[in-house]
Structure 1
Amino acid sequence: MQAKGSKLLASALSEAAPTPFWTDRPERPHPNDPLTQATTADLAIIGGGYSGLWTALLAKERFPDIDVVLVESAMCGHAASGRNGGFCAASLTHGLSNGVDRFPEEIDQLERLGRENLDAIEATIRRYSIDCDFERTGELEVATMPHELEWLQESHEAAIELGYRSELFNAEEVQDLVHSPTYLGGWWDRDGVAMLDPARLAWGLRRACLEKGVRIYEGTPVQRISKSKGGTLTLHTPHGEVRAPRVALCTNAFQGPLAKVSRHVVPVYDYALMTEPLTPEQLESIGWGKHRMGLGDASYRFHYYRLTSDNRILFGGYDAIYHYNGKIAPALDYNEATFEILSQHFFQTFPQLDGVRFTHRWGGIIDTCGRFCAFFGKAYKGKLAYAVGYTGLGVGATRFGAEVMLDRLWNLDTERTRLRMVKSRPLPMPPEPFRSIGIQLTRWSLARADQRGGKRNLWLRVMDATGLGFDS
């Protein structure tokens, strides 16, 4: 297929603001004041993304009278929670196939808990009147290479076996849903994914927490944790401190004050583009407006894309990038080479949208780990709990992680805490330079596998055998 020329791609990107579309809104809330004194709480939470906000809200729902303090280094929802694709998946294991491979003995249970978790998210959005454009559309996974058709067949059969509403489409049938010359087939999970506005979800959870009496201090990074007299922990911040008998660590990809967590987590940069709103004629030309399901292709280096409430297309993924020693910096949120690649792939997918311009371009970090789904742990003799490693599916799975942390902090024996998924953890990542070498070799191998009919080379097979394989 003929790619668009570099000048045309540059024109499509020329007016794209270098900022996340979701947070570029006048209704963005004003930040709360930072912590400037010493205080105490029954539960202290480090981090104000989805993970921390769900933990605070669920804690107040479970125990209405407890005092909860949440401290956030910037503003709630500013990082991954406000700049992701807005896919809210039921899966707790980064997809059914990854769950089957890693937790075969409890996959039915994990799938049920994941679907219940998605239902609970929808109920919470309604209960607190959170305006975040929640749509229970499901997700259509498409094959763009012949070998991917077999993968879609396997996913469809596994979904049917679990009793899910699942549909498989050939090349002609998938065109009835969305028109793209690149599609060879499709698999539609009708119920396992919802679309939403991620920043408005974060802002809505923040508002609900504040209304329930959670004290939120923004612009308040936690520099270290120390043990205090009386069995409490102290969170030290630049201008104040919080003492609490229970602490939930919700820093995800950002290195928090607990070193052993960062040994298992790798920050990977992901990038996205947002188009201008499509005209009715443009939307009709791609045939997507009727069902509005999320879309993703089945390649190892996959794209994800979806419609917004005003009929823009978010188009992201493909070029996940790791920087040496896990470097995180604001400048890395923008990668012009990746934006150009995504733009080219967008017009290859939808050539009928030639002339559409992008209004926003941005990136952000994903907290991935060796098993490509969340892991859980405790520290300070059980006074601190954490849940990290969501690998891009944290929009939904962080609520489940919050439940696990609360169960553990209150020493509750629940169905969740008895799961092997919750009790186990991935292997730690190797130190540098071996970490960078391994990640770059894996990226190269995955790209090569996409080009060679899905065939995994020796490196990928070794990673599979050691439990570090990638199957997304």
Structure 2
Amino acid sequence: MTQPGAPPALEALHAVDTADLAVVGAGYSGLWTALLAKERDPGRDVVVLEAGTAGWAASGRNGGFCSASLTHGFDNGLTRFPAEISELERLGRENLTTIGLAVEHYGIDCSWEPTGELVVATEEWQMRELTTSFGEATARGLDVTLLDRAEVQAEVRSPRFLGGLWDRTGCAMVDPARLAWGLRRACLSLGVRIFENTPVLRLVNERGALRLNTPRGEVRAGRVALATGAHGSLLKRLRHYVVPVYDYVLMTEPLTPSQLDSIGWRNRQGLGDAANQFHYFRLSADNRILWGGYDAVYYHGGRISPARDQREATFRLLAEHFAATFPQLDGIRFTHKWGGVIDACSRFSGFFGTAYGGRLAYAAGYTGLGVGATRFGANVMLDLLSGARTELTSLEMVRSKPLPFPPEPVRSGVIELTRWSIARADRNEGRRNLWLRTLDRMGLGFDS
């Protein structure tokens, strides 16, 4: 991670150690788990083992949208968990509020801006879908506003925007890396021991405990929380449910006052468009525009490689789309470009479970919307490890699993056919072909 202000790496593990709780992974999922574990029980001995440095992967390089949604958006949640969507929305908004309070309590300097999110329509069929979503959301008491063309242009000016749906309270903008570093510092302040550059190579089931082997040491723990996202290989069953998908982002130079005035955006909401292959974009603290999404890429075999963090064909495509969206910013330079892998599952929202007789809990599959949902998932893991039935462990979302992906080479074929079909639907007024309708009936309605 090259962003200025990164803390120096902590020491790697070079000993045989013990812990009440060992957390594998120091992204948001692992850091929230460690922090909440100490808040629940300050006397609990908690160790975090991180293969790189805290927040180096998806947690430190995401788009910076901290959404209240636990289900990858209201519509996805309504489709998959209709009986408990109201409860999930309540829990999600409580979770977002608590994240904001934690940022304040621990003094985390991460440009936290609870500005909400505006989803814009760029085609008439998208406006029809937003209107339907508006009706479903307001029926459940959500604070959303449907904007017509004039109203959306008053918020953010683009010749492509035909209308929009503004969720005023369901999302906050955040500097992702600084949030990760702040959570790391908060963990350390409560006595969590964090070892960086310490990959866990093997997990061994011993009598009454689990042993985690690392290159130069080991930890024996009574309980383990597995929070490795797309990088997990310690629990074989997760390989059937999670695929690594690459997402790419551009960032402009800071906008001048006149450039910013030309697009409006005075309320600084996070923005996304309503296409199946969607873009997401926001303003940074220094008024750069982060512009990403659309071209989610799965590479055959699912191998993760740093070389794939850069993809010039996608960056060129994103730049073309940016120019069409904001022609008034013609000539603006992109100063940064990056990519990274997210842990995608077939239902597009996190799933949870246990192994080793309940001594290990895991959370995975957030599919790019885990900035906020990982805190919820951390509480789920801690509840599961306690063995008690709680409000969270009683949820269908927590008790159920997504459908697994088929093995290669079928997996690559299915994903590519789905991507082709999604692009075709966007060109065909949103009409989904037979393949997508089949996936919908199976509970596998994909977007990008």
TM over 0.5: yes
Cα shift at 1:162: 1.8
Cα shift at 1:471: 5.3
**Residue number among 297, 311, 315 corresponding to 2:287 in the alignment:** 311
Tell me the alpha carbon deviations over residues 224-283 of structure 1, each in whole angstroms, 9 at most, x when there is no partner: 100123x10000111100000100000001133111012100110000001000000000
User: What is residue 359 of structure 1 aligned with on the other side?
Assistant: 335
Do 1:272 and 1:315's aligned partners in 2 also have CA atoms closer than 8 Å? yes
Q: Within 5 Å, which residues of 2 pair with 1:337-356?
A: 337-356=313-332
Do structure 1's residue 37 and structure 2's residue 15 form an aligned pair?
yes
Do 2:353 and 2:363's aligned partners in 1 also have CA atoms closer than 8 Å? yes
Gaps of 5+ in 2: none
Cα shift at 1:161: 1.3
TM-score when scaled to structure 2? Answer: 0.99
Do structure 1's residue 99 and structure 2's residue 67 form an aligned pair?
no
Q: Within 5 Å, which residues of 2 pair with 1:172-191?
A: 172-191=150-169
**Residue number among 355, 361, 375 corresponding to 1:379 in the alignment:** 355
Tell me the alpha carbon deviations over residues 406-449 of structure 1, each in whole angstroms, 9 at most, x when there is no partner: 00111122100000110000111100000000000000000000
- Number of residue equivalences: 448
Aligned counterparts of 1:454 and 1:26: Cα–Cα separation in 2:
42
User: What is residue 218 of structure 2 aligned with on the other side?
Assistant: 241
Aligned counterparts of 1:40 and 1:166: Cα–Cα separation in 2:
49
Aligned counterparts of 1:271 and 1:411: Cα–Cα separation in 2:
39
User: What is residue 92 of structure 2 aligned with on the other side?
Assistant: 114
Tell me the alpha carbon deviations over residues 150-196 of structure 1, each in whole angstroms, 9 at most, x when there is no partner: 11101211221121221111112211110100111111010101101
User: What is residue 211 of structure 1 aligned with on the other side?
Assistant: 189
User: What is residue 261 of structure 2 aligned with on the other side?
Assistant: 284
Do 1:175 and 1:183's aligned partners in 2 also have CA atoms closer than 8 Å? yes
Q: Which amino acid aligns with 2:107?
A: S
Q: Which amino acid aligns with 1:247?
A: V
User: What is residue 10 of structure 1 aligned with on the other side?
Assistant: none
Q: Which amino acid aligns with 2:372?
A: G
User: What is residue 334 of structure 1 aligned with on the other side?
Assistant: 310
**Higher mean C-alpha deviation, range 407-416 or range 312-321:** 407-416
Aligned counterparts of 2:58 and 2:155: Cα–Cα separation in 1:
30
Secondary structure at 2:381's aligned position in 1?
helix
Secondary structure at 2:230's aligned position in 1?
coil
User: What is residue 25 of structure 1 aligned with on the other side?
Assistant: 3
Do 1:98 and 1:471's aligned partners in 2 also have CA atoms closer than 8 Å? no
Aligned counterparts of 1:173 and 1:124: Cα–Cα separation in 2:
34
User: What is residue 224 of structure 1 aligned with on the other side?
Assistant: 202
Gaps of 5+ in 1: 1-22
TM-score when scaled to structure 1? Answer: 0.94
Aligned counterparts of 1:298 and 1:60: Cα–Cα separation in 2:
40
Aligned counterparts of 1:429 and 1:82: Cα–Cα separation in 2:
27
User: What is residue 449 of structure 1 aligned with on the other side?
Assistant: 425
User: What is residue 12 of structure 1 aligned with on the other side?
Assistant: none
Cα shift at 1:106: 0.7
Secondary structure at 1:176's aligned position in 2?
helix
Aligned counterparts of 1:79 and 1:25: Cα–Cα separation in 2:
13
User: What is residue 414 of structure 1 aligned with on the other side?
Assistant: 390
Aligned counterparts of 1:399 and 1:38: Cα–Cα separation in 2:
30
Do 2:422 and 2:447's aligned partners in 1 also have CA atoms closer than 8 Å? no
Aligned counterparts of 1:259 and 1:325: Cα–Cα separation in 2:
16
